[in-house]
Amino acid sequence: MTSMFKKKEPNLIATQKVKDLVNEKFKLDDKSTLSIAELNCHKPDCPPKETVITIRDMDGNAKNWRIHKPINEIVDEDINMLDKKKGSN
């Protein structure tokens, strides 16, 4: 029997691919922090999984984007569209 609290293993290859795409797109330097998280949603009006991308600069500024798909389904075009989407602060 599987535990409902069993933690899912992260897809490290897909996560690294997304990080590489974001780094390339925004030309991030070593002082920026990039965070990628896949979240589950249990509300009826949201997708079952979404990926949240956060870039935080040393001066405290942060941008957040949500892509309504799991990390392993994100493609180059999703990342290229980030600057067209308004990132939240």
Q: Is residue 17 part of a domain?
A: no
Q: Is residue 18 part of a domain?
A: no
Convert 62-83 to b/e letters by CB count within 10 Å (16 or more is b): ebebebebbbeebeeebbeebe
The pLDDT, as a whole number, for residue 50 is 93
Q: Which two tokens stand for residue 45?
A: 């009006």
Residue 70 reports pLDDT greater than 80: yes
Domain hosting residue 43, numbered range: 32-89
Q: Give the mean pLDDT of 42-51.
A: 87
Q: Is residue 10 part of a domain?
A: no
What is the tally of structural domains in the chain?
Answer: 1
Q: Is residue 7 part of a domain?
A: no
Q: Is residue 8 part of a domain?
A: no
The pLDDT, as a whole number, for residue 2 is 54
Q: Is residue 76 part of a domain?
A: yes
Q: Is residue 89 part of a domain?
A: yes
Contacts of 37 (CB under 8 A, 6+ apart): 51, 52, 54
Name which residue leads in pLDDT, 46 or 53.
Answer: 53
Contacts of 65 (CB under 8 A, 6+ apart): 52, 53, 82, 85, 87, 88
